[in-house]
Amino acid sequence: MCTSLHFGKQRGLAQCASATGVFCILALDHRQAVLNVFSRYGEKAFQESVNFKKQVIQSLSSFSTAFLLDPVIGAAPAISARVLPGATGLIVTIEESGYAGPSFARVSRLPSDWNAEKIKKMGASAIKLLVYYHPEAETAFAMQGFLEQVSQDCTRCDIPLFLEILTYSPSKEGLALSNEQRRDAIIRSAAELTPIGGDVLKVEFPAGSSENRRIWEDACCSISQASQIPWVLLSAGVDSEVFLEQAKTACDSGASGILAGRAIWKEALSLDGEARNAFLQDIAQERLRQLLMLCEINAKPYYVLSTPQTVEENWQIRYLGF
């Protein structure tokens, strides 16, 4: 299924991709988790968190097609300090950190002081929305409506939406999902939510690390079939070696690249000074370089699933402003 992208969405996705139309995006939108790590600095926790993100951006921008950042300790400070290259895409989170409600019926929500218009206004290339979702959860219908609302706002602002789906167990008894149940939930969620909204799907790896490669391949192919939009793989904090294998399977199976964070830089959180800098400049850079090469060779260009907006004479008359 091909969708037609308006000019703003078309331009925003191009800013987040490589010249060949694939994504190798570094996720650094973690908020409370990063602040908690730097709470050891007391009153300086906020500034140290900002400094950490700026250092990661400076070290890894050469191999990132875009950065996914939160607005407060990520995007605004990076722009202000001029550490985010102008040629690199910027995706900004819109949702409130964490979820409301019980663990078996999770609710994503928006902050009262943050929206699509403000993200567009600050110069972002795209917006990221995280939706906690399970097709059988009692909040599933409400989350569909939530996604539809945000998607309509993004369309009104003509800015791309990266839709991140995180699945969970809807069991009130606290039973964890088996590998098969989790795989089914991920694939069903992609099938149910991507027709509602989003321009790129950010999704978990749909198979357990101990399962055989045939299951990996079949599960990733199922996502490509279920999703009506291009998809990228998130890392969920797995070890870098495992994620490299997962990314190759995903890209070989139709993914348009990766949008990963902790698998690349997580060790840097426990380091300071020169030790952190050395890790980022050496190990983290090499991890991301390998992922970029993999995406360029194996990933499916995102624009294969879309068509450009037709340009007609006096098109600007029908192009509505805010």
Q: DSSP secondary structure string, 73-105?
A: IIIHHHHHTT-S-TTSEEEEE-SPSS-BS-TTS
The answer to whether 110 and 150 have CB atoms below 8 angstroms apart is: yes
pLDDT at residue 77, rounded to an integer: 97
The mean pLDDT of 10-21, rounded to a whole number, is 97
Is pLDDT at 322 greater than 80 in this prediction? no
Half-sphere exposure of 187 (CA within 13 A, CB side): 18
Q: What is the pLDDT of residue 29?
A: 96
Closest to 269 in 3D by CA, of 48, 110, 99, 80: 48
The token pair at 83 is 């550490």
pLDDT tens-digit series, residues 122-137: 999 999 999 999 999 9
Nearest to 284 by CA among 251, 261, 256, 250: 261
Q: Is the pLDDT of residue 1 over 70?
A: no
- Among residues 251, 252, 198, the alpha carbon closest in space to that of 229 is found at 198
**Extents of the domains making up the chain:** 3-307
* Residue with the larger pLDDT of the pair 215 and 210: 215
What does pLDDT average to over the chain? 95
57-113 pLDDT tens trace: 999 999 999 999 999 999 999 999 999 999 999 999 999 999 999 999 999 999 999
Q: What's the pTM value of the predicted model, to 2 decimals?
A: 0.96
Its CATH class, for the domain covering 3-307, is alpha beta
Length of the chain: 322
pLDDT given for residue 250 in this prediction: 98
pLDDT digits (tens, 9 = 90+) for 243-302: 999 999 999 999 999 999 999 999 999 999 999 999 999 999 999 999 999 999 999 999
